[in-house]
Amino acid sequence: MIDRCKQLAKENYFLGLEEPDSIIFNKGLDWLIRNAKTADANGSAWIAVNRRQGIGNIAKYSGLGRLAIFHKRDVTRTLIDDCFIEIVTSSEIPRDGLNRPLLAFQPTAEFLATLQAIPNFQKMLVVPWVAEEVDGWAKKYFAKDLENPELPSIYVDEVAVTAFKHLKFAFTESPPPSHTYYRNSICQTLQILIESGIRFELQALQSALIQKCGWGPVSAKQVAELAGIFLSHHTPAGYDGRGPWENGIIKLWRIEAAKAETK
């Protein structure tokens, strides 16, 4: 579970669309260089474009001409401001993000999903072409507005919502025999979700439990606290991995969640 959590722990951000491209693109490059110079990135970073041919629409702007070298197919990296910048395209995908930041210029939804699946990126910033192309990604992976990073996320994966609706229903139909059973049931639910790659932010999950799942405020607080323990790569005290769910329950939650999202 810990390795899976670490793989998914990258920070995701996006920029807006209404400023001139020259300003937005330079904001993106400035962010990339700044983060490449951190100790973790060791002076290296990635730039992602759907296809190499698209680099010309970026390099034509002032301050971005150094990227034009990526037009040459035999060139995979260049030096900008003492940082090595490597290119990623839909046909040139690294197996490992090497703990570097990544700047994605106007990716399609499909390309963005491919980028997100690459393990060990430090951070990713997306410069969108149209908002709809990246909305799904931003919701699923809790991307933050780079210029308003403190804006709280309100999104929780629908699979998590479905799981806790099911658990609430189970408790209503058959009250838990003890507090220990109640707590272990919550823990097992969280463990299954996290091991299955279902993501959520603690405050957003706590809010969703109250607003969407029928949980009380104090119970929702407890769920968020237990989730925080799991997400910090620890196991809650007293939890031995057992609970009410059988193997494969995640498949049912995914099916129910998909139905809910199409309504």
The residues, ordered by sequence, that sit 6+ positions from 95 with a Cβ below 8 Å of its Cβ are 118
Q: What residue spans in the chain does CATH classification 3.40.50 cover?
A: 2-145
Summary mean pLDDT of the chain: 90
Greatest pairwise CA separation for the chain in angstroms: 68
**What are the tens digits of pLDDT across the range 196-206?**
999 888 888 98
Q: What stretches of the chain show up as alpha helix (H) in DSSP?
A: 2-7, 21-36, 56-59, 109-117, 131-140, 158-173, 179-195, 202-211, 217-231, 249-261
State the Cα–Cα distance between residues 232 and 235, nearest whole angstrom. Answer: 9
pTM: predicted TM-score of the whole model, two decimal places: 0.69
State the Cα–Cα distance between residues 186 and 250, nearest whole angstrom. Answer: 14
Tell me which architecture the domain covering 2-145 has in CATH.
3-Layer(aba) Sandwich (3.40)
Tell me which architecture the domain covering 158-261 has in CATH.
Up-down Bundle (1.20)
Q: What residue spans in the chain does CATH classification 1.20.1290 cover?
A: 158-261
| One-letter amino acid of 176 | P
Please check the confidence at residue 32 and state whether its pLDDT lies above 60. yes
Full strand arrangement of the beta sheet holding 144-145:
77-80, 83-88, 44-49, 101-105, 123-127, 11-14, 144-145
State the Cα–Cα distance between residues 108 and 90, nearest whole angstrom. Answer: 10
State the Cα–Cα distance between residues 75 and 252, nearest whole angstrom. Answer: 47
Q: How confident is the model at residue 263 (pLDDT cuts 50, 70, 90)?
A: low
As a whole-number percent, the residues of the chain with pLDDT over 70 amount to 95
Of 12-16, 241-245, 257-261, give the lowest mean pLDDT range. 257-261
Alpha carbons within 13 angstroms on the beta-carbon side of residue 80 total 26
Please check the confidence at residue 4 and state whether its pLDDT lies above 70. no
For the chain, the C-alpha Rg in angstroms (whole number) is 21
**What are the tens digits of pLDDT across the range 136-164?**
888 788 888 898 877 766 778 899 999 99
